[in-house]
């Protein structure tokens, strides 16, 4: 199995940047596609971005395209989410997840981290 732990969240003003990290345990990390999801209070969990096992392909939600960048370092068992030009509507708990395919349906992912809070003030 894979354990995932997110970090890097915080409280920032609109327009600021944050970089989230997701550290994975286990030697099978590189065999999974990785994704970031977010969930605001009272809302459904939302797909943000997914990245292939090699890091050569990524798929972004329209709401973050051009502002967020995903990357992974398989040697460090870590995936990153660089978030620029943050908006108040980006406020949510951000989760990293591991699965077999890059899909927008959160139920298709096998492993989840505990989440890290991102709050963007106006």
pLDDT tens column, 70-111: 999 988 999 999 999 999 999 999 999 999 888 889 988 999
Query: Does the structure show a pLDDT above 70 at 36?
Result: yes
Compute the average pLDDT of residues 47-63. Answer: 93
Tokens of 112: 């989840």
**Are 107 and 57 within 8 A, CB to CB?**
no
CA 47 – CA 70 distance, rounded (Å): 13
How many Å apart are CA 80 and CA 68, to the nearest integer? 10
Q: Which residue has the tokens 């050569």?
A: 56
The residue assigned the tokens 């970090």 is: 7
Q: Which residue has the tokens 């890059």?
A: 102
Note the pLDDT of residue 27. Answer: 66
Confidence of residue 59 (pLDDT cuts 50, 70, 90): very high
In this predicted structure, the answer to whether residue 38 has a pLDDT above a threshold of 90 is yes
Residue 26's pLDDT band (cuts 50, 70, 90): confident
How far is residue 48's CA from residue 53's CA, in Å, rounded to a whole number? 17
């Amino acid at each position: 199995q894979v354990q995932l732990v997110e970090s890097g969240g915080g409280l920032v003003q609109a327009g600021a940047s944050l970089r989230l990290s997701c550290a994975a345990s286990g030697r099978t990390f590189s065999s999974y596609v990785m994704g970031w999801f977010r969930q605001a209070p009272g809302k459904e969990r939302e797909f943000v971005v997914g990245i292939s096992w090699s890091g050569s392909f990524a798929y972004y939600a329209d709401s973050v395209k051009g502002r967020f960048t995903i990357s992974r370092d398989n040697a460090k068992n870590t995936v990153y989410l660089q978030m620029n030009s943050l908006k108040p509507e980006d406020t949510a708990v951000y989760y990293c997840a591991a699965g077999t395919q890059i899909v927008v349906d959160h139920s298709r992912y096998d492993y989840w981290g505990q989440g890290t809070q991102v709050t963007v003030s106006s």
